[in-house]
Structure 1
Amino acid sequence: MKLIFAGTPDFAAAHLKALLASDHEILAVYTQPDRPSGRGKKLHASAVKTLALSHQIPVEQPENFKSEQSVDTLKNYHADLMVVVAYGLLLPKGVLDAPTKGCINVHGSLLPRWRGAAPIQRAIWAGDSHSGVAIMQMDEGLDTGPVLLEKTIPIEKTDTSASLYTKLAELGPVALLAALASYEQLEATTQSEVDVTYAKKLSKDEAKCDWSLPCAQLERNVRSFNPWPYSWFMHNNDAIKIHTAETVEQKHSSSSFQNGQVIAYSKEGLDIQCKDGILRVKQLQLPGKKKQNVAELINGKPNLFTSGQQLS
């Protein structure tokens, strides 16, 4: 088919790369406008734009599709289908109807669970046993269109958002090519409105450790907020990020320590009292420093934490 591809980050670029290696023709690529990043705040092209330009594919970067001209530009490509992967713009009806066969989306969850902005992170945050990708025929709603094809993978107990992201970035292109190969024969399944959940964006405020939460939830927070914004807590007026943690069996009576108190600081880790047990922090990151194993940190800073200290 003659395709238009719309996407922005690395996750989308993995799908574009698969399409470029296929028999489909990429007429144009749509991606977000270049954004300032880094210390110098210089404009940087998206991963999708960089890949498209390396293959001499026309790149379009509208701020939005509110003008008739932006919609007409898309129509003039006369595409069979538009493939959308983590594009970052809402598509109005004029865009959805522009290609002959409409637009399909590769979404990083098993719809209707986790519609919205952060499906990969929220699956870990909620303790889901499985995730996957859904190929969906797009409509004007937020991830509400009928599902054409799904691929499922288990979420491992050690998965972070980064590792699950990588797995889905490998699974998604496989599912996309399979859907395109049998597009005319696929049966569209209307999503159930009973099982809908929404994956709201993550925030730094949400990532601040609430020691009154159950240990299992705090451990999932650590994994779901890695690599952004990282779970964190305040200590000596410093915001300290947690990279890895685990729950351990309660060895002290619940009356001995309050939520957020340090129980032990040893080479095994930093043990912190939570609602129903102990969270053992294995790796953390001090401001301006690289991440460190607690086993290494204790050699240089043996008095950084002491038993009985109350963390914010």
Structure 2
Amino acid sequence: MRLVILTQDDPFYLAQNIDYLLKKLPPYAEVVATVVFDVSPFGKRETFSQKMKKTYDIFGLPFFVRYGFKFVLSKLDSRNNVRKTLADRNIPLIQIEGNINKDENLEKLRAYKPDLLVSIAGNQIFKRKLLDVATHGCINLHTALLPKYRGLMPSFWVLKNGETHTGVSVFFVDEGIDSGPILVQKKLEIGNRSQAELIDVTKKMGMDAILESIEKIHSGNYELIENDAAQMTYFTFPTKADVQAFLKAGKKFY
């Protein structure tokens, strides 16, 4: 099975988890290429200075200093570099120009004859022509129990809203946002975890869920779980008021 991974150059969580995924891939699955999008934590394209200012304005000085320090350290530690993790395994990087859905970018993907696209924090909207590039379409990891908590930063929202459980969902991508049918779903008790701890746990769970999904697709033996739009909730990026309510509720970022 020929896989193409669609991901982003996240400096905090992705590199080591993708490395774990690659180590655990079954013998019949091969990552033949990757697309690495520029990191976009706010769900839209912004300059680095805009991202810094927004982080400071919304999350405050202690959060800004902590993650600013982690960002610098990540640049010095190759284990946190997504591109290097892929390069160390000699996995080709597909260079795209602009939106991935452009015809010239789709042709680059088709050249690798993928059986399955695997989106891990892919941060562009995928259109039908892209989804049809691979024989089995595209799966995506979402670190929440869909159909609840579609959208951005579910680890923040489940804590703010006082949920007792969260989890991960791997689903077939359609042209909506986190709306496709679910292939694998795993539940997790939140306990007293901070947001950072929750992200760590769910990312690792997510890699195992992706591996399970690949096995199901390869065998053809699976039943899809409905991603019921009538039950959905959707969240965007938090505001400063949301962060204040998060902290007032006794929740922790780290």
Fold agreement, TM-score > 0.5: yes
Structure-1 separation of matches of 2:240 and 2:128: 34
- The total of aligned residue pairs comes to 214
Q: Tell me, which stretches of 5 or more residues in structure 1 are unaligned? A: 211-215, 228-312
Please name the residue that 1:187 is paired with.
223
Q: Percent identity?
A: 26
Contact 1:32 1:61 in 2 (8 A): no
Out of 159, 170, 187, the position equivalent to 1:124 is 159
Question: Which has the bigger relative contact order, CA under 8 A and spacing at least 6?
Answer: 2
**Pairs within 5 Å for 1:1-312:** 1-8=1-8, 9=10, 10-21=12-23, 22=25, 23=27, 24-33=29-38, 47-62=81-96, 63-156=98-191, 158-183=192-217, 184-204=220-240, 206-207=242-243, 209=244, 218-220=248-250, 222-223=251-252, 226=253
Which letter maps to 1:47? N
Structure 1 residue runs of 4 or more that deviate by more than 2 Å after TM superposition:
9-16, 33-39, 44-48, 60-63, 202-207
Q: Structure 2 vs 1, CA of residues 7 and 152 (structure 1 numbering), >3 Å: closer, same or farther?
A: same
- CA drift at 1:11: 3.9
Q: Structure 2 vs 1, CA of residues 53 and 78 (structure 1 numbering), >3 Å: closer, same or farther?
A: same
Please name the residue that 1:268 is paired with.
none
Contact 1:14 1:173 in 2 (8 A): no
Higher helix share: 2
Q: Structure 2 vs 1, CA of residues 197 and 14 (structure 1 numbering), >3 Å: closer, same or farther?
A: farther
Contact 2:21 2:208 in 1 (8 A): no
Which letter maps to 2:114? A
Structure-1 separation of matches of 2:236 and 2:131: 24
Larger Rg: 1
Q: C-alpha root-mean-square deviation of aligned residues, in Å?
A: 2.6
- CA drift at 1:118: 1.1
Which letter maps to 2:30? E
Contact 2:101 2:126 in 1 (8 A): no
